[in-house]
Each structure stands twice: as structure tokens, then as C-alpha cells.
Amino acid sequence: MHDSARDRVGRVMGHVGPYVQLRPLAGGREWDADPGHLRRLTPAELLSALVAQANARSRQPR
């Protein structure tokens, strides 16, 4: 999902009250998002986000 309020991409982890909880694709701390600011990623956007995640992971020291 894309959170337009924060311009971030994340996976839906759950719902708490009126908010949807998202977590970055690479893992990390969840954030609360207003459902009115969320939209599904297009297939091209999802692929781009996953490639960016893989590239960032490959640059980390082993």
C-alpha cells in the first residue's frame, strides 16, 4: 500500500481503531495510516519497491 500522507510504501499488518497499521517492505517499525490516504500499488510500483529493497539489502555489509 502507498501512504500518500507520508509518501511511504508498506505492507498492511492490521487495523487499530480507525487506522491501518503498515510496516516497511524491508521490515522495521510499523506506523499508523489513515485509510483515506492509502491506495494499492500498481504492479509496476510494487516491482519497483521490491527491487529497491533488494538493492538496498545487497549493499549492506555481510
30-54 pLDDT, tens digit each = 999 999 999 999 999 999 999 998 9
| Residue-wise burial string across 24-34, b where 16 or more C-beta atoms lie within 10 A, e elsewhere | ebeeeeebebe
User: According to the model, what pLDDT value does residue 62 have?
Assistant: 78
Amino acid at the residue 42: T
Number of C-beta neighbours around residue 12 at 10 A: 12
Domain count, the chain: 1
pLDDT at 26 over 90: no
Distance CA 15, CA 31 (A): 11
Give the residue-averaged pLDDT of 3-24.
Answer: 96
Task: Provide the residue range defining the domain that includes 36.
Answer: 2-58
Give this prediction's pTM.
0.83
pLDDT at 61 over 90: no
